[in-house]
Structure 1
Amino acid sequence: MLVLSRKVGETIWIGEDVEIVISEVKGEQVKVGIRAPRNIDVVRGELRQDISTLNTESVVKNINILKNIK
């Protein structure tokens, strides 16, 4: 993992297409802007985990339903 220090208004580039902008810092909270092409999904980490958990639960339910059909 790369760890960088940035100030408000400074940026970080990921590849040629994604720009991270530090827009505000208040205490322990940092507001980050992300400029990326529409074909790149930008999802908060906690939402990604929630989606993964829901997908796993759905698969388990479907397996249980199929077991009961036999």
Structure 2
Amino acid sequence: MLIVTRKQGEGIVIGDNIEISVIKLDNGSVKLAINAPKEVKILRKELLKEIQDENKEAAFVSLEAFNKLIK
């Protein structure tokens, strides 16, 4: 893991085509701008966790529901 300190207006570059810039600092919150190709998926970490949890729930089938389906 790389840890860097950036000020407002500064940024970092990942590879040849992803740039992350600090746009605004406000009361412990940071606003970032991410410039990346459209084929690069960008999700907030908490949203990704919600999606993963929902997918796990959708994949789970109770034994009772399964027995009803095969009858």
Q: Normalising to structure 2: TM-score of the pair?
A: 0.86
- Which structure 1 residue ranges, 4+ long, deviate > 6 Å from structure 2? none
RMSD of aligned alpha carbons: 1.8
- Structure 1: stretches of 5+ with no match in the other structure: none
* Matched residue count: 70
Deviation at 1:60, TM superposition (A): 0.3
Counterparts of residues 1-70 of structure 1 (less than 5 Å)? 1-61=1-61, 65-70=65-70
Q: Normalising to structure 1: TM-score of the pair?
A: 0.88
Instruction: State the identity as a percent.
Output: 31
- Structure 2: stretches of 5+ with no match in the other structure: none
